[in-house]
Amino acid sequence: MLHSRLFVKSKKELPEDEVSKNAILLHKASFVYKEMSGVYTFLPMGLRVLNKIENLLRKHMDLVGTEIYLSSLAPKELWQQTGRINEVDVLFKVSAANENSKNKSNNEYILNSTHEELVTPIAAHFAQSYKDFPVDHPLAFYQIQTKFRNEPRAKSGLLRGREFRMKDLYSFHLTKDDFEKYYESVKQSYINFFTDLQLGQDLYITSASGGDFTEQVSHEFQIMCDAGEDTIYIDEASKNAFNKELVSTENEIKFGVKFDALEQVTACEVGNIFTLEDKFTKAFNLQYTNRDNKKELVPHMGCYGIGTTRIMGVMVEKFSDDSGMVWPKVVAPFDVEIVSLFKELGDDVYVESKSIYEKLKASYDCLLDDREISVGQKLNDADLYGIPVQIIVGAKNLERGVVEVKVRKSGRILEVQLNEVESLLKTLWPEVF
């Protein structure tokens, strides 16, 4: 991609009330544009990061479930059937905006903040017999979608939004044992995903309350992060962790821990997994015919979330330095940026940069900075964007047949012959994570 085709430029001034590191860096680099508190537009490079996070997640989720795309609008009746229309504080409804409208429809719909009310009737539509609940690959649907929540305190950039993107997965099981096996397999796939994102070492799988309707604990996937909203108690040795809400004498006995002996850290919840028991299967009468040809209620449903835009925010919080963001290759907007320090379009430096770009783009996602701006601004922008490898093409070096290759993470700069750029890149990836 040519930088001139992105149509965006880095910005010095900040929107009002923007204080969190991820919001500031993503705004300055023009990865996102703030529409209002908790609502962001994704600009070209931000969208590329988001797509890479979601496609990586999709790869892991395809191993445990089947992708669908549930509607965002729901009839009110579905939310009345579970009673949650009066329980979920953050729920939005939609209605006609235009009071003068010729369209006399006074219909109101729910804008789903979560999708149990939609996915359970679909399970009931297709699963009627015990044969529809195979044990070796349980009935499980997932989706990756924009979600809406009427957050009273939308803040911290991408960490808490009124509009955000999320993966949600729902599973249905006939026995507790089946559910628990599946639950563990999803837990493992989450660990694999966060490890791929290079977030593994700061990940704590945290026991937390399972909610009002169950005695079971749920598990939160928490990334240690100063900008987070949660306090968790961690045991570094065992990697066991507990949400602050669990701290009680009763739970010290239940879990066999002394909370006072654990370290308290601030963390951001990027995923969660929990049982819904039969709350929704009961509400929507999800029954199946068992081996004795008798009807029974499906007793176990699980729910598994991951916030993809929030992960993007957390990664900026974790992977940045004084000069800007530092993306791991797996989700970087581009693998390589060619920082072309030409004097004018068409000069030798420009031509050589273009030639490197054309050669590399078959194997790598490449950005070529082809803008007619100052050398300083190009170098500053490159550090701000945080693309893992920069190839800096300047006139003086070019006379000697070399370019500089800068590893954004370590700051290491290597001087390399023009014909050795490609072979160097192959050796570099382990270093740039």
278: which 2 tokens? 């039969």
From the list 16, 17, 101, 250, which residue makes contact with a second copy (rule: CB under 8 A)? 101
Tell me the site size for a second copy, rule CB under 8 A. Answer: 74
Find the farthest-apart pair of alpha carbons in the chain and give their distance in angstroms, rounded.
83
What is the number of other CB atoms lying within 10 angstroms of the CB of residue 110?
24
Shortest Å, Cβ 251 to a second copy: 26
89 lines the binding site for a second copy (CB under 8 A): yes
Binding mask 313-352 for a second copy (x = CB under 8 A): ----------------------------------------
7 lines the binding site for a second copy (CB under 8 A): yes
Shortest Å, Cβ 127 to a second copy: 7
8 lines the binding site for a second copy (CB under 8 A): yes
14 lines the binding site for a second copy (CB under 8 A): no
143: which 2 tokens? 């989706």
| CB 278 within 8 Å of CB 297 | yes
Distance CA 272, CA 269 (A): 8
From the list 12, 16, 17, 152, which residue makes contact with a second copy (rule: CB under 8 A)? 152
Shortest Å, Cβ 332 to a second copy: 17
Contacts (CB under 8 A) with a second copy, residues 30-59 = 30, 33, 35-36, 39-44, 47, 50
Contacts (CB under 8 A) with a second copy, residues 174-193 = none
Query: 3-state DSSP call for residue 135?
Result: coil
Shortest Å, Cβ 247 to a second copy: 24
Give the helix/strand (H/E) hosting 367.
strand 366-369
Distance CA 234, CA 205 (A): 10
| CB 132 within 8 Å of CB 139 | yes
Instruction: Show Cβ contacts of residue 164 under 8 Å, excluding neighbours closer than 6 positions.
Output: 38, 146, 147, 149, 158, 307, 309, 310
Binding segment (CB under 8 A) for a second copy, from list 82-90, 174-182, 327-335, 340-348: 82-90
Contacts (CB under 8 A) with a second copy, residues 109-128 = 109-111, 118, 122, 125-127
16 lines the binding site for a second copy (CB under 8 A): no
Binding mask 356-395 for a second copy (x = CB under 8 A): ----------------x-----------------------
Distance CA 50, CA 315 (A): 11
Which residue has 């059937």 as its token pair?
81
